[in-house]
Amino acid sequence: MKGKVKMNWTLIIILLLNILGIGFIKLHDQNKYIKTKTGIEKHGEYAIGIITLTPPEGKLIKQGGAERILYKYKKQIFEGDAVGPFKRTKIGNKYVIVFDTTNLKHCMVLYDYPVKDSLQFVRDMEFLRKNPPKPYDTLIWKCFRNKEKLW
């Protein structure tokens, strides 16, 4: 009788340790995900992004709509897919891009900040440095991929 009770407690402890281990792994993965997103907030720089390709009327290039967009940083041009906004954009439209200087594949297009001229860009950049939008609370942050998934 004592042997069965002891074995039951052993099984309960093993099961509990497995559940705690799985919870720890999930929490660790979630923290890595958050750290990836906050890299932009820590090492963020701004640039002007130009739309080079939009989906045809009524069609989607990728799920959620997608556009080709490029931006320049330190005399290099980066091009990739921007998951499109819910409103139509046109080829040649310019928007503020915020990107992580430590990993240039992590970028976001701020569709609520169209750029009409360089003076407007400087004003927007100063405003965004003082009041950065929260990427988790707003839909103006869109994922920018350079031919691969970020997360």
- How far apart CA 59 and CA 4 sit, in angstroms, is 65
Task: Answer with the residue of higher pLDDT: 111 or 66.
Answer: 111
pLDDT at 81 over 50: yes
- Output the 3-class SS for 129-141: HHCCCCCCCCCCE
- Tell whether 9 is covered by a domain: no
Query: How is residue 147 annotated by DSSP?
Result: S
- Tell whether 150 is covered by a domain: no
- How far apart CA 51 and CA 68 sit, in angstroms, is 6
Question: What Rg value do the Cα atoms of the chain yield, rounded?
Answer: 22
**How sure is the predictor about 101, in pLDDT bands with cuts at 50, 70 and 90?**
confident
Give the structural domain span for 134.
44-145
Q: What does the block give as tokens for 102? A: 């430590």
**Number of structural domains the chain divides into:** 1
- Tell whether 13 is covered by a domain: no
Task: Choose among 57, 76, 64, 74: nearest CA to 146.
Answer: 76
Average pLDDT value over all residues in the chain: 70
- Tell whether 114 is covered by a domain: yes
- Tell whether 48 is covered by a domain: yes
Residue 136: per-residue pLDDT:
42
Q: What does the block give as tokens for 116? A: 């009409």
- Tell whether 37 is covered by a domain: no
- Tell whether 94 is covered by a domain: yes
Predicted confidence (pLDDT) per residue in 103-145, tens digit: 776 677 787 888 888 888 888 888 888 877 665 433 333 444 4
- Tell whether 35 is covered by a domain: no
Q: Is 61 exposed, middle or buried (0-12, 13-18, 19+ CB in 10 A)?
A: middle
Task: Answer with the residue of higher pLDDT: 87 or 24.
Answer: 24
